[in-house]
Amino acid sequence: MSVELLNFIETVLNGLMSGVMYSLVALGFVLIFKASGVFNFAQGVFALFAALTLVGYQTGQVPFAHVINELFGTNYHNWYASMPNFLAIILTMITMIALAWIIERLVLKHLVNQDPIILFMATIGLAFALEGVGDLMWGSDVKVLDVGIPSGGSVWLEEATIGLAAEGSDYYGMYIDVLNVWATVIAVILVITLALFSQYTKTGRALRAVADDHQAALSVGISLRTIWILVWAISGFIAMVAGIMWGTESGVQFSLSLIALKALPVLILGGFTSIPGAIIGGLLIGVGEKLAEIYIGGYFETGALENWFAYVMALVFLLFRPQGLFGDKIIERV
């Protein structure tokens, strides 16, 4: 094989794996959008908040320590030195479920039957509020997150691929981060579990029913409120997985919530209402981005093609297929 081909394969693989993460965040958006018609702007902040909370539990941080110390002149920082990873993850899950419940109670419940734009505005408010709460609760410093997922380049793959290049060429093997491989495996398991759950269980059936038709769902006795809490909790859970992966890679910091906005071009590609669309859209954006960076990135002096290329892809796509790859067809009845 030629070195060019090997480089191309490496780029595509890396693109696919970063695409999986985009898919995961986009999936959170799609689930909520299908079930409650809300475009949840706060999805990225969910990921951030989950990661912050996880680190907080792991390291025994006292929530709101800064506020408490300021008010009462105390000096609390940590309850305990550390907590087992799996316990911390379970506690974070419970927190995300509680968060979903609180959001339903405080926000959604009061906005039933309002225009989508009003609900959208509410989620923008929610995003900022939650970011503020996260800051107050856990502090704004960049934190290291380590839940024991291995990271670093895969030595095995590097060694296995060195021999593939043509004799005498200057090739050092493929570089793939093990963390990304783990992220991909976990995301795939998550998606399959979700698919099985929604296909074969009673609650899953109720979930699909609500996504399809609110009135009909009410008429067979499905409680919209329960389903909404469930959907927001699942989205919170997905956000947590994304938060763990990104947090492990680049530290838990507030810019995490912005990365999540990459899900927007993914949704435009895949369609707002399609779960397979979210997955394939994420992969396309991931691969497209990486390929563009490598092959045409050199022509842009400012670099950082990766930051905006996805949006350009989405714009071009909008011209030809505004409903996305798998979205519901837009039909205007006259």
Partner 1 sequence: MSLDDLKKIPYGKTSIELKNISLAFGGVKALTDVSFDIKKGEVFAIIGPNGAGKSSMLNVINGFYKPTSGLINFAGTDRNAMEPEFAAKSGIARTFQNIALFKGMSTLDNLMTGRLLKQKQNFLMQALYFGPVEKEEAEHREKVERVIDFLDLQSIRRTPVGSLPYGLQKRVELGRALAMEPEILLLDEPMAGMNVEEKQDMSRFVLTVNNELKTTIVLIEHDMGVVMDISDRIVVLDYGKKIGSGLPEEIRDNKAVIDAYLGVSDE
Contacts with partner 1, residue ranges (CB under 8 A) = 197, 200-206, 208-209, 211-213, 215-223
Query: Based on CB atoms, which residue is closest to partner 1, 40 or 273?
Result: 273
Residue 180 CA to residue 184 CA, distance in Å, equals 6
Residue 37 CA to residue 152 CA, distance in Å, equals 40
Query: Based on CB atoms, which residue is closest to partner 1, 78 or 199?
Result: 199
Greatest distance between any 2 Cα atoms in the chain: 72
Minimum CB separation of residue 215 from partner 1 in Å reads 5
Residue 301 CA to residue 325 CA, distance in Å, equals 33
Strand locations in the chain (E): none
Residue 323 CA to residue 271 CA, distance in Å, equals 6
Query: Based on CB atoms, which residue is closest to partner 1, 110 or 202?
Result: 202
Helix 3-36 vs helix 202-212: crossing angle, to nearest 10: 80
Query: Based on CB atoms, which residue is closest to partner 1, 217 or 245?
Result: 217
Query: Based on CB atoms, which residue is closest to partner 1, 159 or 213?
Result: 213
Minimum CB separation of residue 114 from partner 1 in Å reads 17
Minimum CB separation of residue 104 from partner 1 in Å reads 16
Do residues 177 and 158 lie in contact, with contact meaning Cβ atoms separated by under 8 Å? Answer: no
Minimum CB separation of residue 202 from partner 1 in Å reads 5
Minimum CB separation of residue 227 from partner 1 in Å reads 11
Residue 101 CA to residue 104 CA, distance in Å, equals 5
Both tokens of 69, joined, read 């110390």
Residue 114 CA to residue 93 CA, distance in Å, equals 30
Do residues 62 and 76 lie in contact, with contact meaning Cβ atoms separated by under 8 Å? Answer: yes
Measured distance between the N- and C-terminal CA atoms of the chain, rounded to whole angstroms:
58
Minimum CB separation of residue 212 from partner 1 in Å reads 4
Query: Based on CB atoms, which residue is closest to partner 1, 200 or 299?
Result: 200
